[in-house]
Chains A and B, each alone.
Chain A
Amino acid sequence: MEEVKVTGIPRIGDIAPSFEAQTTMGPIKFPDDFKGQWVVLFSHPADFTPVCTTEFIGFAQLNAEFQKRNVQLIGLSIDNIYSHIAWVMNIKEKTGVEIPFPIIADVDGKIAQLFGMLHPGESSTVTVRAVFVIDPNAKIRAIIYYPLSAGRNTREILRLVDALQTADKHQVATPANWVPVPQTWEFTEENTKVIVPPPTSYEDAVKRLQEGYECIDWYLCKKKLS
């Protein structure tokens, strides 16, 4: 496919920038390797951070639904491949959830810059929670940005894909809160819990597991707000 040169942050309707990257599932070339597929490319601030871990579990649990819709999920952060692998293994070990999609190791941040995933007002070193929904013609169809502190609603991203695909198929638009079929998904007590800021020293990390929180690991502990 044609090489795309981007001079600013890509916007809805633009052709997504081309890139090659190393991922947890081998090297990829975008968009060539994804020809004919939808892609949800999403960035997260860093591996081994609590909010990102909950998001990855959320995406992994919905991966089969994305696949049914011919969507390939791709994660990205400015971390190296060994960190990604260790994190993916840690998630599997602690929660039993396997991450079934590739995560780009954007060590030098070049892809993050290409897609405008670095927002200096929020952080100049880690990517914000960006989501790019890209169609089979490599056109950017939707963009979402979330700050570091708020985890994304993975079901909303699936709903967005449904809305775009439905609009394409039937030449219609979808109203607020539209869903393709009445949803059985419900929010539970678990969804009301918040994340305790992770410890930043070895000493505090060791202590964290004894502090009475609900912990999956030292960096991911939750509590209920009173």
Chain B
Amino acid sequence: MTGTYARKNFRKRLTMSNGCVTPDGRLSDRALMLLKLLKERGKLTDTDIAELTQRPLFQVRSSLRELTNAGFLKQDGNYYLLTEKAEEAILQT
């Protein structure tokens, strides 16, 4: 029982470990950089962000998905915008 619980938690940590939001809700440096870029530009598409940050498109899409699911971003067609939660997170840095 304990072993199964430990394995599940290990898997959860592993899944989250390279992402934008840590299991305790903190944002990684990469995520904060992305949010600040959106704050500066207003709204951007995934390809805009890949071009501006020089990061691979798949990696940008993965980050955008994670940040959207965590409530930091919302979508308007192909564009990504900050939510109030993201504005607050930026203010706290």
Q: Please determine whether chains A and B interact with each other in the same assembly.
A: yes
Question: Which residues from chain A sit less than 8 Å from chain B, CB to CB?
Answer: 22-23, 25-29, 32-35, 37, 72, 81, 102
Rounded to whole Å, the gap between the CB of B11 and the closest CB of chain A is 9
* B79 interfacial contact with A, CB 8 Å: no
- B66 lies within 8 A of A27 (CB): yes
- B58 lies within 8 A of A34 (CB): yes
Contact pick for B14, options A22, A33, A102, CB 8 Å: A22
**Which bracket fits the contact residues of B?**
10 to 19
- B19 lies within 8 A of A27 (CB): yes
Rounded to whole Å, the gap between the CB of B73 and the closest CB of chain A is 16
- B62 lies within 8 A of A27 (CB): yes
Q: Is the interface of B mostly helix, strand, loop or mixed?
A: helix
Q: What residues on B are CB-neighbors of A102 within 8 Å?
A: 58-59
Interface residues of B in 23-67 (CB under 8 A from A): 56-59, 61-63, 65-66
Contact pick for A72, options B15, B58, B63, CB 8 Å: B58
Rounded to whole Å, the gap between the CB of B61 and the closest CB of chain A is 4
Q: What residues on A are CB-neighbors of B14 within 8 Å?
A: 22, 81
- A37 lies within 8 A of B59 (CB): no
Rounded to whole angstroms, the CA-CA distance of A85 and B18 in the bound complex is: 12
- With A33-B61, A34-B58, A81-B18 known, 9 other A-B pairs at CB within 8 A are A26-B18, A26-B19, A27-B18, A28-B62, A29-B65, A34-B57, A37-B58, A72-B56, A102-B58
Rounded to whole angstroms, the CA-CA distance of A37 and B57 in the bound complex is: 9
Rounded to whole angstroms, the CA-CA distance of A27 and B17 in the bound complex is: 9
The residue in chain B whose Cβ has the minimal distance to the Cβ of A102 is B58
